[in-house]
Structure 1
Amino acid sequence: MKNLDERTITQAVIERNSSSGNERLKDVMHSLVQHLHSFAREIELTEEEWEIGIKFLTDVGQICSPTRQEFILLSDTLGLSTLVIAQNHKKPVGCTEATVFGPFHVQNAPRLPLGSNMSIGVKGTPWFVNGQVRGIDGKVIPYAEIEVWQADDDGFYDVQKEGLNEYQGRAIFTADQEGKYYFETIVPEAYPIPHDGPVGKMLEALNRHPWRPAHLHFMISAPGYERLVTHVFKESGEYLDSDAVFGVRSSLIAEWTYHENGTDQNGQFHATPFYTLDFDFILNHKKEAVRHD
Protein backbone atom coordinates (compact mmCIF):
# COMPACT_ATOMS: atom_id res chain seq x y z
CA MET A 1 0.00 0.00 0.00
CA LYS A 2 1.40 3.35 -1.01
CA ASN A 3 1.71 6.17 1.47
CA LEU A 4 -0.87 8.57 0.02
CA ASP A 5 -0.85 12.31 0.54
CA GLU A 6 -2.37 15.39 -1.08
CA ARG A 7 0.08 15.13 -4.00
CA THR A 8 -0.40 11.44 -4.81
CA ILE A 9 -4.04 10.66 -3.96
CA THR A 10 -5.49 11.85 -7.29
CA GLN A 11 -3.41 9.54 -9.45
CA ALA A 12 -3.99 6.66 -7.05
CA VAL A 13 -7.79 6.99 -7.45
CA ILE A 14 -7.50 7.26 -11.25
CA GLU A 15 -5.34 4.12 -11.38
CA ARG A 16 -7.77 2.24 -9.11
CA ASN A 17 -10.63 3.10 -11.50
CA SER A 18 -8.71 2.19 -14.64
CA SER A 19 -9.70 -1.49 -14.61
CA SER A 20 -13.26 -0.70 -15.68
CA GLY A 21 -14.21 -2.24 -19.01
CA ASN A 22 -16.55 0.68 -19.73
CA GLU A 23 -14.36 3.20 -21.56
CA ARG A 24 -16.87 6.04 -21.35
CA LEU A 25 -17.35 5.51 -17.60
CA LYS A 26 -13.59 5.39 -17.14
CA ASP A 27 -13.14 8.69 -19.04
CA VAL A 28 -15.94 10.36 -17.07
CA MET A 29 -14.59 9.23 -13.71
CA HIS A 30 -11.02 10.17 -14.67
CA SER A 31 -12.10 13.73 -15.45
CA LEU A 32 -14.45 13.94 -12.47
CA VAL A 33 -11.76 12.90 -10.00
CA GLN A 34 -9.22 15.29 -11.50
CA HIS A 35 -11.58 18.27 -11.40
CA LEU A 36 -13.00 17.43 -7.99
CA HIS A 37 -9.56 17.10 -6.44
CA SER A 38 -8.36 20.26 -8.22
CA PHE A 39 -11.35 22.13 -6.81
CA ALA A 40 -10.51 21.00 -3.28
CA ARG A 41 -6.89 22.04 -3.72
CA GLU A 42 -7.70 25.38 -5.34
CA ILE A 43 -10.00 26.59 -2.55
CA GLU A 44 -8.08 24.74 0.17
CA LEU A 45 -11.26 22.96 1.29
CA THR A 46 -11.52 22.61 5.06
CA GLU A 47 -12.96 19.59 6.86
CA GLU A 48 -15.81 21.74 8.19
CA GLU A 49 -16.67 22.93 4.66
CA TRP A 50 -16.48 19.37 3.36
CA GLU A 51 -18.94 18.25 6.05
CA ILE A 52 -21.30 21.12 5.20
CA GLY A 53 -21.15 20.10 1.55
CA ILE A 54 -21.95 16.47 2.37
CA LYS A 55 -24.90 17.56 4.52
CA PHE A 56 -26.16 19.85 1.73
CA LEU A 57 -26.17 16.99 -0.81
CA THR A 58 -27.80 14.70 1.75
CA ASP A 59 -30.55 17.28 2.32
CA VAL A 60 -31.07 17.64 -1.44
CA GLY A 61 -31.58 13.89 -1.77
CA GLN A 62 -33.86 13.58 1.26
CA ILE A 63 -36.30 16.28 0.11
CA CYS A 64 -36.77 14.64 -3.32
CA SER A 65 -40.12 12.96 -3.90
CA PRO A 66 -42.29 11.81 -6.83
CA THR A 67 -43.53 15.42 -7.15
CA ARG A 68 -40.33 17.27 -6.27
CA GLN A 69 -36.90 16.85 -7.87
CA GLU A 70 -34.47 18.96 -5.87
CA PHE A 71 -31.45 17.70 -7.81
CA ILE A 72 -32.94 19.10 -11.04
CA LEU A 73 -33.46 22.41 -9.23
CA LEU A 74 -29.84 22.31 -8.10
CA SER A 75 -28.62 21.55 -11.61
CA ASP A 76 -30.85 24.29 -13.04
CA THR A 77 -29.80 26.99 -10.57
CA LEU A 78 -26.10 26.20 -11.06
CA GLY A 79 -26.47 26.57 -14.83
CA LEU A 80 -25.46 22.95 -15.41
CA SER A 81 -28.77 22.06 -17.07
CA THR A 82 -28.41 24.90 -19.56
CA LEU A 83 -24.79 23.95 -20.28
CA VAL A 84 -25.66 20.31 -20.97
CA ILE A 85 -28.62 21.30 -23.16
CA ALA A 86 -26.53 23.79 -25.13
CA GLN A 87 -23.81 21.18 -25.74
CA ASN A 88 -26.22 18.49 -26.84
CA HIS A 89 -28.75 20.48 -28.86
CA LYS A 90 -26.73 22.52 -31.31
CA LYS A 91 -29.11 23.39 -34.14
CA PRO A 92 -28.96 25.19 -37.47
CA VAL A 93 -29.88 28.87 -37.41
CA GLY A 94 -33.64 29.14 -37.71
CA CYS A 95 -34.53 26.15 -35.56
CA THR A 96 -36.44 26.76 -32.35
CA GLU A 97 -33.99 26.73 -29.46
CA ALA A 98 -34.15 24.19 -26.66
CA THR A 99 -34.12 25.14 -23.00
CA VAL A 100 -34.37 23.54 -19.57
CA PHE A 101 -36.80 20.68 -18.98
CA GLY A 102 -37.74 21.75 -15.47
CA PRO A 103 -38.82 19.56 -12.55
CA PHE A 104 -42.60 19.54 -13.10
CA HIS A 105 -43.07 17.40 -16.19
CA VAL A 106 -45.05 14.21 -15.59
CA GLN A 107 -45.63 11.05 -17.58
CA ASN A 108 -49.04 10.19 -19.00
CA ALA A 109 -50.51 13.68 -19.24
CA PRO A 110 -54.06 13.62 -20.64
CA ARG A 111 -54.45 13.55 -24.43
CA LEU A 112 -56.93 16.16 -25.57
CA PRO A 113 -58.43 17.08 -28.97
CA LEU A 114 -57.14 20.20 -30.69
CA GLY A 115 -58.92 23.29 -29.45
CA SER A 116 -59.58 21.84 -25.99
CA ASN A 117 -59.15 23.76 -22.77
CA MET A 118 -56.34 22.11 -20.79
CA SER A 119 -56.95 24.28 -17.70
CA ILE A 120 -60.61 23.67 -16.92
CA GLY A 121 -61.30 24.64 -13.33
CA VAL A 122 -58.15 26.75 -13.02
CA LYS A 123 -58.76 30.43 -12.30
CA GLY A 124 -57.08 32.92 -14.57
CA THR A 125 -57.39 34.97 -17.72
CA PRO A 126 -58.31 32.87 -20.79
CA TRP A 127 -55.47 32.35 -23.26
CA PHE A 128 -55.74 30.99 -26.78
CA VAL A 129 -52.50 29.52 -28.12
CA ASN A 130 -51.89 28.46 -31.70
CA GLY A 131 -49.18 27.99 -34.29
CA GLN A 132 -47.61 25.56 -36.73
CA VAL A 133 -44.86 22.95 -36.59
CA ARG A 134 -42.42 22.93 -39.52
CA GLY A 135 -38.99 21.57 -40.37
CA ILE A 136 -35.91 23.70 -40.91
CA ASP A 137 -36.46 23.18 -44.64
CA GLY A 138 -39.86 24.88 -44.35
CA LYS A 139 -41.86 21.70 -44.84
CA VAL A 140 -44.97 21.25 -42.74
CA ILE A 141 -44.72 18.48 -40.13
CA PRO A 142 -48.13 16.82 -39.89
CA TYR A 143 -49.43 15.17 -36.73
CA ALA A 144 -46.56 16.22 -34.46
CA GLU A 145 -47.12 15.35 -30.79
CA ILE A 146 -47.21 18.53 -28.70
CA GLU A 147 -47.02 18.19 -24.93
CA VAL A 148 -47.72 21.36 -22.95
CA TRP A 149 -47.56 22.15 -19.22
CA GLN A 150 -47.64 25.29 -17.12
CA ALA A 151 -48.13 26.91 -13.73
CA ASP A 152 -51.39 28.62 -12.81
CA ASP A 153 -51.75 32.33 -12.13
CA ASP A 154 -50.71 31.76 -8.51
CA GLY A 155 -47.44 30.22 -9.71
CA PHE A 156 -48.18 26.58 -8.88
CA TYR A 157 -48.19 23.44 -11.02
CA ASP A 158 -50.89 20.86 -10.51
CA VAL A 159 -48.43 18.39 -8.94
CA GLN A 160 -47.68 20.93 -6.21
CA LYS A 161 -51.30 21.09 -5.07
CA GLU A 162 -52.43 18.80 -2.26
CA GLY A 163 -55.65 16.91 -2.72
CA LEU A 164 -55.87 17.41 -6.49
CA ASN A 165 -56.92 14.14 -8.10
CA GLU A 166 -56.61 15.12 -11.76
CA TYR A 167 -54.12 16.91 -13.95
CA GLN A 168 -54.69 20.58 -14.70
CA GLY A 169 -52.64 22.90 -16.84
CA ARG A 170 -51.07 20.13 -18.89
CA ALA A 171 -52.04 18.08 -21.93
CA ILE A 172 -50.82 16.31 -25.05
CA PHE A 173 -52.19 17.49 -28.39
CA THR A 174 -51.62 16.15 -31.89
CA ALA A 175 -51.12 18.75 -34.62
CA ASP A 176 -53.34 18.46 -37.69
CA GLN A 177 -52.24 17.40 -41.19
CA GLU A 178 -50.98 20.93 -41.85
CA GLY A 179 -48.87 20.95 -38.69
CA LYS A 180 -51.21 23.40 -36.99
CA TYR A 181 -51.99 23.27 -33.29
CA TYR A 182 -54.37 25.30 -31.12
CA PHE A 183 -55.71 25.03 -27.61
CA GLU A 184 -57.12 27.05 -24.73
CA THR A 185 -55.59 27.55 -21.30
CA ILE A 186 -55.06 30.39 -18.80
CA VAL A 187 -52.26 32.97 -18.70
CA PRO A 188 -49.48 31.81 -16.34
CA GLU A 189 -47.63 34.25 -14.13
CA ALA A 190 -44.04 34.53 -12.97
CA TYR A 191 -43.37 32.23 -10.02
CA PRO A 192 -40.60 31.24 -7.61
CA ILE A 193 -39.07 27.79 -7.89
CA PRO A 194 -39.54 25.80 -4.65
CA HIS A 195 -37.19 27.56 -2.23
CA ASP A 196 -38.14 26.05 1.11
CA GLY A 197 -35.39 23.43 0.82
CA PRO A 198 -31.60 23.28 0.49
CA VAL A 199 -31.53 24.89 -2.98
CA GLY A 200 -33.55 27.81 -1.63
CA LYS A 201 -31.10 28.19 1.25
CA MET A 202 -28.23 28.19 -1.24
CA LEU A 203 -29.87 30.94 -3.30
CA GLU A 204 -30.52 33.00 -0.18
CA ALA A 205 -26.91 32.66 0.91
CA LEU A 206 -25.82 33.83 -2.55
CA ASN A 207 -28.25 36.78 -2.43
CA ARG A 208 -30.14 35.39 -5.44
CA HIS A 209 -33.90 35.37 -5.95
CA PRO A 210 -35.82 32.17 -6.84
CA TRP A 211 -38.11 33.65 -9.48
CA ARG A 212 -38.82 32.46 -13.02
CA PRO A 213 -40.41 34.65 -15.70
CA ALA A 214 -43.87 33.68 -16.95
CA HIS A 215 -43.64 30.89 -19.52
CA LEU A 216 -45.33 27.94 -21.17
CA HIS A 217 -43.54 24.58 -21.50
CA PHE A 218 -43.54 22.62 -24.76
CA MET A 219 -42.17 19.23 -25.74
CA ILE A 220 -42.62 18.44 -29.43
CA SER A 221 -41.93 15.10 -31.10
CA ALA A 222 -42.29 13.91 -34.68
CA PRO A 223 -40.80 10.97 -36.63
CA GLY A 224 -37.56 11.92 -38.37
CA TYR A 225 -37.02 15.04 -36.26
CA GLU A 226 -35.13 15.78 -33.06
CA ARG A 227 -37.36 16.09 -30.03
CA LEU A 228 -37.68 19.71 -28.91
CA VAL A 229 -38.03 20.70 -25.25
CA THR A 230 -38.52 24.42 -24.88
CA HIS A 231 -40.50 27.32 -23.35
CA VAL A 232 -42.26 30.39 -24.70
CA PHE A 233 -41.76 33.47 -22.54
CA LYS A 234 -43.83 36.63 -22.21
CA GLU A 235 -42.38 39.69 -23.89
CA SER A 236 -41.63 42.45 -21.35
CA GLY A 237 -42.26 40.01 -18.50
CA GLU A 238 -40.49 40.22 -15.16
CA TYR A 239 -37.26 38.28 -14.51
CA LEU A 240 -36.36 37.72 -18.18
CA ASP A 241 -32.84 38.95 -17.39
CA SER A 242 -32.52 37.12 -14.09
CA ASP A 243 -34.30 33.79 -14.51
CA ALA A 244 -33.32 31.66 -11.51
CA VAL A 245 -32.62 28.65 -13.74
CA PHE A 246 -30.97 30.47 -16.70
CA GLY A 247 -33.63 29.21 -19.12
CA VAL A 248 -34.47 32.32 -21.15
CA ARG A 249 -33.47 32.61 -24.83
CA SER A 250 -34.20 35.78 -26.81
CA SER A 251 -35.73 33.74 -29.64
CA LEU A 252 -38.25 32.21 -27.22
CA ILE A 253 -39.70 35.54 -26.09
CA ALA A 254 -43.00 36.30 -27.81
CA GLU A 255 -45.88 38.73 -27.62
CA TRP A 256 -48.81 37.53 -25.56
CA THR A 257 -51.48 39.74 -27.12
CA TYR A 258 -54.12 41.25 -24.84
CA HIS A 259 -57.69 41.70 -26.07
CA GLU A 260 -60.32 43.70 -24.17
CA ASN A 261 -62.91 41.55 -25.93
CA GLY A 262 -63.43 39.94 -29.31
CA THR A 263 -63.49 36.64 -31.17
CA ASP A 264 -61.07 33.83 -30.33
CA GLN A 265 -59.46 31.36 -32.75
CA ASN A 266 -62.50 29.08 -32.46
CA GLY A 267 -64.87 31.86 -33.54
CA GLN A 268 -66.32 32.34 -30.07
CA PHE A 269 -66.98 35.90 -28.94
CA HIS A 270 -65.72 37.03 -25.52
CA ALA A 271 -67.14 40.07 -23.78
CA THR A 272 -64.33 39.92 -21.18
CA PRO A 273 -60.53 40.21 -21.60
CA PHE A 274 -58.43 37.36 -22.99
CA TYR A 275 -54.97 36.79 -24.47
CA THR A 276 -53.70 35.13 -27.64
CA LEU A 277 -50.32 33.72 -28.64
CA ASP A 278 -49.26 32.75 -32.16
CA PHE A 279 -45.97 30.83 -32.10
CA ASP A 280 -44.49 28.49 -34.71
CA PHE A 281 -41.96 25.76 -33.90
CA ILE A 282 -39.14 24.86 -36.29
CA LEU A 283 -37.68 21.38 -35.75
CA ASN A 284 -34.29 20.04 -36.78
CA HIS A 285 -33.97 16.82 -38.75
CA LYS A 286 -32.81 13.87 -36.69
CA LYS A 287 -29.24 12.87 -37.41
CA GLU A 288 -28.87 9.40 -38.85
CA ALA A 289 -27.01 6.93 -36.71
CA VAL A 290 -23.51 6.24 -38.01
CA ARG A 291 -22.93 2.57 -38.85
CA HIS A 292 -19.60 0.89 -38.19
CA ASP A 293 -19.63 -2.23 -40.39
Structure 2
Amino acid sequence: MTEDRLQAVTDEVVASFAETKDDRLREIVTSLTRHLHAFARDIALTQEEWEAGIDFLTRVGHITDAKRQEFILLSDVLGLSMLTVGINAPTTANATESTVFGPFFVDDAPEVALGGDIAVGVKGRPCWVSGSVTATDGSPIAGARIEVWEADEDGFYDVQYAGDKLAGRGWLSSGTGGEYRFWSVRPSAYPIPEDGPVGDLLHATGRGPMRPAHLHFKVSAPGHRTVITHIFDSSDTYLDRDAVFGVKPSLVVDFAEHGPGTAPDGRELDSGWASVAFDIVLEKL
Protein backbone atom coordinates (compact mmCIF):
# COMPACT_ATOMS: atom_id res chain seq x y z
CA MET A 1 0.00 0.00 0.00
CA THR A 2 1.16 3.54 -0.73
CA GLU A 3 1.66 5.99 2.10
CA ASP A 4 -1.56 7.76 1.07
CA ARG A 5 -3.55 4.54 1.36
CA LEU A 6 -1.94 3.70 4.71
CA GLN A 7 -2.81 7.17 5.99
CA ALA A 8 -6.37 6.70 4.73
CA VAL A 9 -6.73 3.63 7.00
CA THR A 10 -5.62 5.69 10.00
CA ASP A 11 -7.93 8.57 9.06
CA GLU A 12 -10.89 6.23 8.71
CA VAL A 13 -10.34 4.71 12.16
CA VAL A 14 -9.88 8.14 13.76
CA ALA A 15 -13.09 9.35 12.10
CA SER A 16 -14.98 6.39 13.54
CA PHE A 17 -14.57 7.88 17.01
CA ALA A 18 -15.95 11.29 16.06
CA GLU A 19 -19.29 10.74 17.81
CA THR A 20 -17.73 9.76 21.14
CA LYS A 21 -19.62 11.84 23.69
CA ASP A 22 -16.89 11.93 26.32
CA ASP A 23 -14.36 14.53 25.10
CA ARG A 24 -11.46 13.06 27.05
CA LEU A 25 -12.17 9.52 25.86
CA ARG A 26 -12.34 10.76 22.26
CA GLU A 27 -8.98 12.52 22.70
CA ILE A 28 -7.39 9.39 24.16
CA VAL A 29 -8.61 6.86 21.58
CA THR A 30 -7.87 9.06 18.58
CA SER A 31 -4.37 9.90 19.80
CA LEU A 32 -3.74 6.24 20.63
CA THR A 33 -4.86 5.25 17.13
CA ARG A 34 -2.59 7.79 15.42
CA HIS A 35 0.47 6.84 17.48
CA LEU A 36 -0.14 3.10 17.23
CA HIS A 37 -0.56 3.28 13.46
CA ALA A 38 2.53 5.51 13.17
CA PHE A 39 4.52 2.94 15.16
CA ALA A 40 3.43 0.12 12.83
CA ARG A 41 4.38 2.16 9.75
CA ASP A 42 7.67 3.31 11.24
CA ILE A 43 8.96 -0.23 11.83
CA ALA A 44 7.12 -1.80 8.86
CA LEU A 45 5.42 -4.26 11.20
CA THR A 46 5.14 -7.74 9.68
CA GLN A 47 2.17 -10.07 10.07
CA GLU A 48 4.33 -12.50 12.07
CA GLU A 49 5.49 -9.72 14.41
CA TRP A 50 1.92 -8.54 14.90
CA GLU A 51 0.88 -12.09 15.82
CA ALA A 52 3.83 -12.39 18.22
CA GLY A 53 2.77 -9.15 19.89
CA ILE A 54 -0.81 -10.35 20.27
CA ASP A 55 0.45 -13.63 21.74
CA PHE A 56 2.71 -11.74 24.17
CA LEU A 57 -0.14 -9.55 25.45
CA THR A 58 -2.39 -12.61 25.71
CA ARG A 59 0.19 -14.31 27.91
CA VAL A 60 0.47 -11.17 30.05
CA GLY A 61 -3.28 -11.35 30.59
CA HIS A 62 -3.32 -15.08 31.34
CA ILE A 63 -0.65 -14.85 34.07
CA THR A 64 -2.31 -11.86 35.75
CA ASP A 65 -4.48 -12.70 38.75
CA ALA A 66 -5.46 -11.27 42.15
CA LYS A 67 -1.89 -11.66 43.44
CA ARG A 68 0.15 -10.92 40.31
CA GLN A 69 -0.33 -7.90 38.04
CA GLU A 70 1.79 -8.59 34.97
CA PHE A 71 0.36 -5.60 33.08
CA ILE A 72 1.65 -3.22 35.77
CA LEU A 73 4.99 -5.03 35.62
CA LEU A 74 5.06 -4.56 31.84
CA SER A 75 4.24 -0.87 32.23
CA ASP A 76 7.02 -0.59 34.81
CA VAL A 77 9.79 -2.17 32.70
CA LEU A 78 8.81 -0.08 29.66
CA GLY A 79 9.11 3.09 31.72
CA LEU A 80 5.47 4.00 31.13
CA SER A 81 4.72 3.89 34.85
CA MET A 82 7.49 6.36 35.67
CA LEU A 83 6.55 8.57 32.72
CA THR A 84 2.98 8.75 34.04
CA VAL A 85 4.31 9.47 37.53
CA GLY A 86 6.37 12.33 36.10
CA ILE A 87 3.45 13.80 34.16
CA ASN A 88 1.35 13.85 37.33
CA ALA A 89 4.09 14.79 39.80
CA PRO A 90 3.51 17.40 42.51
CA THR A 91 4.27 20.92 41.36
CA THR A 92 5.47 22.22 44.74
CA ALA A 93 9.24 22.02 44.88
CA ASN A 94 9.62 20.69 48.43
CA ALA A 95 6.87 18.04 48.24
CA THR A 96 8.05 14.44 48.53
CA GLU A 97 8.66 13.02 45.08
CA SER A 98 6.57 10.11 43.87
CA THR A 99 7.66 6.94 42.14
CA VAL A 100 6.14 3.73 40.80
CA PHE A 101 3.27 2.01 42.59
CA GLY A 102 4.45 -1.49 41.73
CA PRO A 103 2.36 -4.66 41.48
CA PHE A 104 2.41 -5.76 45.16
CA PHE A 105 0.09 -3.35 46.97
CA VAL A 106 -3.01 -4.82 48.66
CA ASP A 107 -6.03 -3.01 50.06
CA ASP A 108 -6.55 -5.08 53.22
CA ALA A 109 -3.22 -4.58 55.00
CA PRO A 110 -3.52 -4.70 58.81
CA GLU A 111 -3.46 -1.59 60.97
CA VAL A 112 -0.51 -1.28 63.32
CA ALA A 113 -0.13 1.09 66.25
CA LEU A 114 2.37 3.93 66.20
CA GLY A 115 5.67 2.19 66.89
CA GLY A 116 4.23 -1.20 65.91
CA ASP A 117 5.78 -3.94 63.79
CA ILE A 118 4.76 -4.55 60.17
CA ALA A 119 7.25 -7.38 59.68
CA VAL A 120 5.16 -10.02 61.51
CA GLY A 121 8.01 -12.48 61.44
CA VAL A 122 9.24 -12.05 57.86
CA LYS A 123 12.92 -12.81 57.33
CA GLY A 124 15.27 -9.87 57.67
CA ARG A 125 17.30 -7.59 59.91
CA PRO A 126 15.01 -5.57 62.23
CA CYS A 127 14.77 -1.96 61.05
CA TRP A 128 13.35 1.03 62.94
CA VAL A 129 11.72 3.48 60.51
CA SER A 130 10.74 6.95 61.70
CA GLY A 131 10.00 10.42 60.46
CA SER A 132 7.29 13.04 60.17
CA VAL A 133 4.46 13.97 57.85
CA THR A 134 4.10 17.68 57.14
CA ALA A 135 2.54 20.02 54.62
CA THR A 136 4.73 22.02 52.24
CA ASP A 137 4.47 25.00 54.60
CA GLY A 138 6.04 22.92 57.38
CA SER A 139 2.90 22.42 59.44
CA PRO A 140 2.55 18.91 60.90
CA ILE A 141 -0.20 16.64 59.59
CA ALA A 142 -1.79 14.57 62.33
CA GLY A 143 -3.75 11.45 61.42
CA ALA A 144 -2.20 10.96 57.98
CA ARG A 145 -2.70 7.42 56.75
CA ILE A 146 0.70 5.84 56.10
CA GLU A 147 0.62 2.54 54.21
CA VAL A 148 3.91 0.65 53.95
CA TRP A 149 4.95 -2.60 52.32
CA GLU A 150 8.19 -4.36 51.44
CA ALA A 151 9.84 -7.62 50.46
CA ASP A 152 11.64 -9.89 52.91
CA GLU A 153 15.43 -10.34 52.87
CA ASP A 154 15.05 -12.98 50.12
CA GLY A 155 13.19 -10.53 47.89
CA PHE A 156 9.69 -11.98 48.26
CA TYR A 157 6.49 -10.12 49.13
CA ASP A 158 3.80 -11.82 51.18
CA VAL A 159 1.55 -12.16 48.12
CA GLN A 160 4.25 -14.40 46.66
CA TYR A 161 4.09 -16.77 49.63
CA ALA A 162 1.92 -19.88 49.59
CA GLY A 163 -1.39 -19.26 51.34
CA ASP A 164 -2.91 -15.95 52.40
CA LYS A 165 -0.44 -14.68 55.00
CA LEU A 166 -0.13 -10.90 55.27
CA ALA A 167 3.33 -9.83 56.43
CA GLY A 168 5.80 -7.09 55.67
CA ARG A 169 2.99 -4.61 55.22
CA GLY A 170 0.59 -2.52 57.26
CA TRP A 171 -0.80 0.95 57.81
CA LEU A 172 -0.61 3.41 60.67
CA SER A 173 -1.64 6.97 61.43
CA SER A 174 0.77 9.82 62.11
CA GLY A 175 0.71 11.20 65.65
CA THR A 176 -0.51 14.56 66.87
CA GLY A 177 2.74 16.23 65.81
CA GLY A 178 2.82 14.47 62.45
CA GLU A 179 5.35 11.92 63.70
CA TYR A 180 5.40 8.27 62.67
CA ARG A 181 7.49 5.25 63.60
CA PHE A 182 7.35 1.51 63.09
CA TRP A 183 9.45 -1.63 62.90
CA SER A 184 10.09 -3.43 59.63
CA VAL A 185 13.10 -5.26 58.19
CA ARG A 186 15.99 -3.68 56.35
CA PRO A 187 15.07 -3.93 52.65
CA SER A 188 17.13 -5.98 50.21
CA ALA A 189 17.60 -5.82 46.45
CA TYR A 190 15.57 -8.38 44.53
CA PRO A 191 14.64 -9.37 40.97
CA ILE A 192 11.20 -8.54 39.65
CA PRO A 193 9.22 -11.67 38.68
CA GLU A 194 10.93 -13.00 35.56
CA ASP A 195 9.15 -16.32 35.10
CA GLY A 196 6.50 -14.83 32.81
CA PRO A 197 6.24 -12.85 29.58
CA VAL A 198 7.79 -9.71 31.07
CA GLY A 199 10.78 -11.80 32.12
CA ASP A 200 10.96 -13.18 28.60
CA LEU A 201 11.10 -9.60 27.29
CA LEU A 202 13.95 -8.71 29.65
CA HIS A 203 15.92 -11.81 28.72
CA ALA A 204 15.41 -11.24 24.99
CA THR A 205 16.67 -7.66 25.24
CA GLY A 206 19.60 -8.36 27.54
CA ARG A 207 18.19 -6.34 30.44
CA GLY A 208 18.55 -7.20 34.11
CA PRO A 209 15.58 -7.79 36.44
CA MET A 210 16.97 -6.25 39.64
CA ARG A 211 15.38 -3.59 41.80
CA PRO A 212 17.51 -1.81 44.41
CA ALA A 213 16.54 -2.25 48.06
CA HIS A 214 13.52 -0.13 48.92
CA LEU A 215 10.53 0.35 51.19
CA HIS A 216 7.14 1.40 49.75
CA PHE A 217 5.03 4.25 51.13
CA LYS A 218 1.55 5.48 50.26
CA VAL A 219 0.64 8.51 52.36
CA SER A 220 -2.68 10.34 52.32
CA ALA A 221 -4.44 13.00 54.37
CA PRO A 222 -7.59 15.09 53.84
CA GLY A 223 -6.90 18.28 51.91
CA HIS A 224 -3.57 16.99 50.64
CA ARG A 225 -2.36 15.17 47.59
CA THR A 226 -1.65 11.46 48.13
CA VAL A 227 1.95 10.48 47.50
CA ILE A 228 3.09 7.03 46.40
CA THR A 229 6.82 6.67 46.84
CA HIS A 230 9.77 4.53 48.00
CA ILE A 231 12.85 5.09 50.06
CA PHE A 232 15.99 3.51 48.57
CA ASP A 233 19.05 2.27 50.46
CA SER A 234 22.00 4.51 49.54
CA SER A 235 24.42 1.57 49.85
CA ASP A 236 22.67 -0.55 47.23
CA THR A 237 24.62 -1.49 44.10
CA TYR A 238 21.57 -1.40 41.78
CA LEU A 239 20.60 2.25 42.23
CA ASP A 240 21.79 3.11 38.72
CA ARG A 241 20.07 0.15 37.00
CA ASP A 242 16.64 -0.21 38.50
CA ALA A 243 14.60 -2.48 36.22
CA VAL A 244 11.59 -0.15 36.53
CA PHE A 245 13.46 3.22 36.49
CA GLY A 246 11.99 4.26 39.86
CA VAL A 247 15.03 5.75 41.62
CA LYS A 248 15.11 9.51 42.30
CA PRO A 249 17.99 11.16 44.19
CA SER A 250 15.68 12.71 46.79
CA LEU A 251 14.43 9.24 47.73
CA VAL A 252 17.87 7.72 48.36
CA VAL A 253 18.52 7.61 52.11
CA ASP A 254 21.15 6.30 54.51
CA PHE A 255 20.37 3.31 56.69
CA ALA A 256 22.32 3.16 59.97
CA GLU A 257 23.52 -0.10 61.51
CA HIS A 258 23.48 -0.77 65.26
CA GLY A 259 24.79 -3.53 67.45
CA PRO A 260 22.81 -5.43 70.11
CA GLY A 261 21.23 -3.19 72.71
CA THR A 262 18.31 -0.90 73.43
CA ALA A 263 16.32 0.43 70.47
CA PRO A 264 14.62 3.89 70.41
CA ASP A 265 11.34 2.42 71.68
CA GLY A 266 13.03 0.60 74.56
CA ARG A 267 13.03 -2.75 72.84
CA GLU A 268 16.02 -4.91 73.80
CA LEU A 269 17.66 -6.60 70.84
CA ASP A 270 20.12 -9.46 71.21
CA SER A 271 21.40 -9.02 67.65
CA GLY A 272 22.13 -6.10 65.33
CA TRP A 273 19.45 -3.89 63.89
CA ALA A 274 19.12 -1.00 61.45
CA SER A 275 17.37 2.36 61.44
CA VAL A 276 16.36 4.96 58.89
CA ALA A 277 14.66 8.37 59.05
CA PHE A 278 12.51 9.80 56.27
CA ASP A 279 10.31 12.89 56.41
CA ILE A 280 7.30 13.04 54.11
CA VAL A 281 5.96 16.33 52.76
CA LEU A 282 2.49 16.42 51.22
CA GLU A 283 1.29 19.00 48.73
CA LYS A 284 -1.96 20.78 49.59
CA LEU A 285 -4.86 20.39 47.17
Question: Fold-level match, TM-score > 0.5?
Answer: yes
Instruction: State the partner residue of 1:90.
Output: 90
| Pairwise CA RMSD | 1.1
Instruction: State the partner residue of 1:171.
Output: 170
Query: Hey, what's the Cα distance between the residues in 1 that align with 2:90 and 2:177?
Result: 26
Q: Does 1:133 align with 2:120?
A: no
Matches within 5 A, 1:145-160: 145-160=145-160
Q: In structure 2, give the amino acid aligned to 1:86.
A: G
Q: Does 1:114 align with 2:118?
A: no
Cα pair 1:91 1:97 within 8 Å, conserved: no
Instruction: State the partner residue of 2:64.
Output: 64
Instruction: State the partner residue of 1:278.
Output: 277
* Structure 2: gaps spanning 5 or more residues: none
- Superposed displacement of residue 8, structure 1: 1.0
Query: Hey, what's the Cα distance between the residues in 2 that align with 1:234 and 1:84?
Result: 24
Alpha carbons of structure 1 residues 90 and 174: separation in structure 2 relative to 1, 3 Å: closer
Instruction: State the partner residue of 1:77.
Output: 77
**SS of equivalent residue, structure 2 residue 53:** helix
**SS of equivalent residue, structure 1 residue 275:** strand
Q: In structure 2, give the amino acid aligned to 1:262.
A: G
Per-residue Cα deviation, 1:125-183 (whole angstroms, up to 9, x for no partner)? 110111010111010111111000000001000000012x3310000101110011111
Q: In structure 2, give the amino acid aligned to 1:38.
A: A
Query: Hey, what's the Cα distance between the residues in 2 that align with 1:269 and 1:172?
Result: 24
Query: Hey, what's the Cα distance between the residues in 2 that align with 1:62 and 1:268?
Result: 46
Q: In structure 2, give the amino acid aligned to 1:281.
A: I
Cα pair 1:110 1:171 within 8 Å, conserved: yes
Per-residue Cα deviation, 1:240-289 (whole angstroms, up to 9, x for no partner)? 00100111110000001011233212023334210001111011111xxx
Query: Hey, what's the Cα distance between the residues in 1 that align with 2:140 and 2:36?
Result: 47
Q: How many residue pairs get matched?
A: 282
* Structure 1: gaps spanning 5 or more residues: 287-293
Cα pair 1:214 1:238 within 8 Å, conserved: no
Cα pair 2:211 2:243 within 8 Å, conserved: yes
Q: In structure 1, give the amino acid aligned to 2:194.
A: H
Per-residue Cα deviation, 1:1-48 (whole angstroms, up to 9, x for no partner)? xxx942310001111111111111111111111111111111111111
Instruction: State the partner residue of 2:36.
Output: 36
Q: In structure 1, give the amino acid aligned to 2:214.
A: H
Per-residue Cα deviation, 1:50-105 (whole angstroms, up to 9, x for no partner)? 11111111111111010000000000000000011111123311111000000000
Cα pair 1:215 1:234 within 8 Å, conserved: yes
Q: Percent identity?
A: 48
Q: In structure 2, give the amino acid aligned to 1:85.
A: V
Query: Hey, what's the Cα distance between the residues in 2 that align with 1:123 and 1:74?
Result: 28
**SS of equivalent residue, structure 1 residue 6:** helix
Q: In structure 2, give the amino acid aligned to 1:269.
A: E
Matches within 5 A, 1:1-293: 5-163=5-163, 165-286=164-285
Query: Hey, what's the Cα distance between the residues in 2 that align with 1:66 and 1:43?
Result: 35
Q: In structure 2, give the amino acid aligned to 1:219.
A: K
Cα pair 1:136 1:284 within 8 Å, conserved: yes
Query: Hey, what's the Cα distance between the residues in 2 that align with 1:151 and 1:15?
Result: 48
**SS of equivalent residue, structure 1 residue 201:** helix
Query: Hey, what's the Cα distance between the residues in 2 that align with 1:263 and 1:99?
Result: 34
TM-score of the two chains, using structure 2 as the length reference: 0.96
